[in-house]
Amino acid sequence: MQLFVGLGNPGSKYAKNRHNIGFMVLDQIASDHGFSPWKSKFQGQICEGRLGGDKVLLLKPETFMNLSGQSVGEAMRFYKLEAGDVTVFHDELDLAPGKCRVKQGGGHAGHNGLRSIHAHITENYQRIRLGIGHPGRKELVSAYVLHDFAKADDDWLNDLLWGLSDGAASLADGDTSRFQNAVALRVNPPRSSTSAKAKDKPNKPVEITPPAEPDSRSTLQKLADKFR
Active site residues per annotation: 19
> Of 47, 51, 21, which Cα lies nearest the Cα of 33?
51
- What is the pairing mode between strands 2-6 and 39-41? unpaired
* CA-CA-CA-CA dihedral for 187, 124, 138, 70, to nearest 10: 100
Say whether 108 sits in a helix, a strand or coil.
Answer: coil
Intra-chain end-to-end CA distance of the chain, in Å: 100
> Which distant-in-sequence residues (6+ apart) come within 8 Å of 161 by Cβ?
24, 25, 28
Calculate the CA dihedral of residues 163, 164, 165, 169 and round it to 10 degrees: 110
